[in-house]
Structure 1
Amino acid sequence: MKKLFRKIAVITLSIVVFGAVAVFVGSEYRLGKTYDIAVTDFHADSGLPIEEASRRGRSFMCVGCHRSAGNVLFTAPLVGTLVAPNISRIAPTYSDGELERLIRHGVKKDGTAALVMPSSTFAHLADDDVANIITWLRTLPQAPDAQPAASSFGPLGRIALALDHLPFEADHTPANLPELAHRPADTGRYLVANTCSHCHHLQTEAEVEGKVVPPLAVVSQAYSLADFTQLLRTGIGLGSRELGLMSEVARSDFSNFDASEITSIHAWLQTNPQDGRPVSH
C-alpha cells in the first residue's frame, strides 16, 4: 500500500511540475511573441510651435496611465502587477518611427506587444496628432522609475498569458488604417473617438477596472457647456462630485483641451450619437 501511495504521489507531483513548466513556457512564449509590423520613416513634425504641439499631445491620456515616471495599473495576489512604464525614460530610446509604431500598433522596440496600450484607438489618430504626442514626449525631463518599475506575473497571471487571455492591443489594431494626415473638420467627433472611447461607449454602459462606466452620449445630455468645461478642466462633475478615474484623467489630460476643442466635443455629444465607434475622418 505504501508503494502505491508513493507511486501516486510521484505521478501527481510529476503532473504538477509538468503543468507548471508548460504554463511558464507558454507564458514566456506569449510575452516574447513578435509582430511583423515595419517601422516607418515617420518624422514627428506637425508644423505647430512646440508649445502648441505639446499641449495637444498631452490631451491624449498618456499621463492618465503612465503618470510622470511609471504607474501601477493593476495588482492582485497570485495574478501579478501590471505597470505602465516610465515614458520619460523610455521615449528617448525610441526613434520617431518606433514611437509611431508603438502608439498606433502597440508594438514595442523589440517587436513584442505592449499590454493594455490603447493602440486600437490610437491607430485612428491623424499623423499630425501622432507627431504632437511624440513632440511632447521629447520634452519630458527624464525621471527615475517609480517602483515597481516593471510588470510581473503570478501563477494565475501566467496561466492567463499561456491561454492568451490578456489584452495585447497589437492583436486588435486594424490591419489597414485610413490615411489621415491632419485633424478633420469635425474635431468633436474625432476627439471623442480618440480619447473618450478608451473608456466609454456612447449609448451603452462599459466596464473599466471593474467599475461601470456610464454611456457618454446619454450622460452628457445633462451637462451644459459650462458644466462640461468645468468637468474637463477640473474633474468636478455635476453636483460638485468627484468621479473617480474620470476626475483623475480630466485633471491630468483633458484639462489640456482648449476652449474650441471642448466646445466641439460637447456640441457633437449633444447630437446624441449612437453606439459603434465614431469614425475619425
Structure 2
Amino acid sequence: MKRILKIVLAALVAICLIAVVGIYALSEMRLSRTYNVAAADFTVKTTLPPEEAERRARTLMCGGCHHDAGNVLIDGPGLGRIVAPNLTRFAPMYSDAELVRLIRHGVKKDGTGVFIMPAGNFANITEDDMAAILAWVRSLKPLPDAVDGATQWGPLGRIGLALGKVPFEADIVTADLTPAATRPADIGEYAFRTDCSHCHNLDTAKQSEAFLAPALRPLAQSYSAADFKTLLRTGKGVGGRDLGVMTQVSLWDFRYFTDAEIEQIQAYLTRQP
C-alpha cells in the first residue's frame, strides 16, 4: 500500500512539474512573439515652442504611467510586477521611427509587444502631436531609475500569458494606419479616442486589467462645468473624493488641458447620441 502511495505521489509531482514547465514555456513563447510591423520613417517635425510640445505630450498620458523616471503600474501577489520604464533612459535607445511604432502599434524595438501601454488609443494621435511627443521626449534630461528592476511575471501572470488571457495592444492595432495631420481645433472626440477610451466606454462600464471604470456620458452629465474642470485638474470627484487611477492620471497629465479643451471634452462626452 505504501509503495502504491509513493508511486501515486511521484506521479502527481511529475505531473505538476510538467505543468509548471509547460506554463513557463508557453508564457515565454507569448512574451517572445514578434510582430511584422515596419518602423517607417517619421519625418514630421514640430514647430511648436518647447512648452507647448511638452503640454501636448503630457495631455496624451505619458506621465501618468511613466512618471518622471519609471513607475510600478501593477504589483500583485501571484500576478507579478509590471513596470513602466524610465523614459529618460529608455527613449534614447530608440530611433524616431521605432518610437512611433512603439507608441502607435505597441511594438518594441525587438519586435515584441507591449503590455498595458494603450497603443490602440495612441494609434489615433495626429502627426503634429506625435512630433510634439518626440520633441519633448528627446528634450528630457537623463534621470536615475525611480524604481528597481523591470517587469516580472508571477505564477498567475504566467498562467494568463500561457492561456492567451493577457491583452497585448499590438494584437488590436492594424498595421496600415493613416493618422490625421493636425490636432483638431475641437479636441472633444479626439481626447476621448486618444485618452479616455483606454479606461472608459461612453455609455457602459468597462472592466480593465485592474479596475472597473464607470461609463463617461452619465458621469460627465452629472458634473457641473466647474466640478468637471476640478476633476480633470486634480482628479478629485465631487466632495473631494480620491478616485485612485483617475486622480493620478489627472495630476500627472490631464491638468495640462486648457480650460477651453476641458469644456470641449465635457461637451463631447455629454452630447446625446
TM-score by length of 2: 0.92
Q: What whole-Å deviation, never above 9, does each CA across 1:202-237 have from its counterpart, x for those lacking one?
A: 111123464332211111113233222222222233
Q: 2:95 aligns to what?
A: 95
Which stretch has the larger CA shift, 4-13 or 107-116?
4-13
Q: What whole-Å deviation, never above 9, does each CA across 1:219-278 have from its counterpart, x for those lacking one?
A: 1113233222222222233233332221221111011112222222122223134xxxxx
Q: What whole-Å deviation, never above 9, does each CA across 1:114-167 have from its counterpart, x for those lacking one?
A: 111100111111111112122221122222222333111122221111112112
Q: 1:218 aligns to what?
A: 218
Q: 2:192 aligns to what?
A: 192
Q: 1:14 aligns to what?
A: 14
Q: 2:256 aligns to what?
A: 256
Q: 1:276 aligns to what?
A: none
Shift of 1:98: 0.5
Q: 1:239 aligns to what?
A: 239
1:136-215 pair list within 5 angstroms = 136-208=136-208, 210-215=210-215
> What percentage of residue pairs aligned between the two structures are identical?
48
Distance 1:82 1:61 in 2: 17
Identify unmatched segments of 5+ residues in structure 2: none
Distance 1:246 1:6 in 2: 55
Identify unmatched segments of 5+ residues in structure 1: 274-281
DSSP 3-state at the match of 1:239: coil
Q: 1:277 aligns to what?
A: none
Shift of 1:2: 4.0
Distance 1:97 1:219 in 2: 38
DSSP 3-state at the match of 1:236: coil
* Count of residues in Structure 1 that have an aligned counterpart in Structure 2: 273
Asked if structure 2 preserves the Cα contact closer than 8 Å seen for 1:121 and 1:193, the reply is yes
Shift of 1:33: 0.8
Shift of 1:10: 3.0
DSSP 3-state at the match of 1:240: coil
State the AA in 2 paired with 1:112: T
Shift of 1:108: 0.5
Distance 1:183 1:161 in 2: 36
Asked if structure 1 preserves the Cα contact closer than 8 Å seen for 2:104 and 2:119, the reply is yes
Q: 1:106 aligns to what?
A: 106
Which stretch has the larger CA shift, 24-33 or 6-15?
6-15
Task: Let me know the Cα RMSD of the aligned residues.
Answer: 1.8
Distance 2:157 2:270 in 1: 42
Distance 1:6 1:242 in 2: 56
Distance 1:44 1:140 in 2: 19
